[in-house]
């Protein structure tokens, strides 16, 4: 069973609109496995991890690119 985010209009993997291909639902570590949110792809040996935030959307702002 594939789960699609209907609210998402932009592709999370590529610079294009979402075409509901389902590629974003697959595991980054095992290509033929659907993601089950195990978190293994997020594990690291470092003391901390960093995430670069490029944009923040709120209910009051609209996506304009």
* Threshold 0.75, pTM exceeds: no
Q: Tell me the pLDDT of the chain (65 aa) as tens digits.
A: 555 555 657 888 899 888 889 898 999 889 899 999 888 887 777 788 777 888 888 876 555 54
Tokens coding 34:
């659907």
Per the structure, how many domains does the chain have?
1
DSSP 6: T
pLDDT at 47: 82
pLDDT at 61: 55
- List CB contacts of 37: < 8 A, sequence separation 6 or more: none
Structural domain of 17: 1-65
């Amino acid at each position: 069973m594939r789960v699609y985010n209907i609210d998402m209009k932009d592709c999370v993997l590529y610079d294009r609109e979402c075409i509901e291909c389902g590629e974003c639902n697959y595991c980054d570590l095992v290509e033929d496995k659907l993601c089950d949110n195990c978190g293994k792809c997020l594990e690291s040996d470092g003391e901390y991890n960093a995430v670069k935030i490029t944009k923040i959307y709120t209910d009051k702002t609209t996506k304009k690119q």
